[in-house]
Amino acid sequence: MSAVFVWPTRVYYEDTDASGVVYHARDLHFFERARSEWLRARGCNHQQLAERFGAAFTVASLEIRYRQPARLDDLLEVTVAIAQQGRASLLFEQGLQRPGEPQNLLATALVKVACVDTSSFKPRTFPAGWLEP
């Protein structure tokens, strides 16, 4: 597994249901944003990936395990790590937790992302060197 990237965020009113608990589908937003920030921290963003390399990411599969609820105004950390790398895919392990509480994960996700050509949306190998730290 690769080094763990950590992205801080906060739970806003718009993220919650009527009981003040994060609505389950909002975790997808947290995980997606953290992967985007992981990419940005590596010196590239989605638009640059498309413009410079003609490549884009698409989610091929997603598995989420909900453990504990996050609540309105909670400060959270979303973690991103590459668990497995293929020629045209990455398997990310992601976690959602309150800072300083890695033992109390709120949710975990396994996200398989495929690299596709921006014009055909057919799978393609990752551009050479794009994943270098």
Q: Which alpha helices (H) appear in the chain, and where do they start and end? A: 26-41, 46-53
What is the Cβ-side half-sphere exposure of residue 31, based on CA atoms within 13 angstroms? 25
Q: Which residues are catalytic?
A: 17
| Assigned token pair, 87 | 């020629």
Q: Is 7 helix (H, G, I), strand (E, B) or coil?
A: strand
Q: How many CB atoms lie within 10 A of CB 133?
A: 7
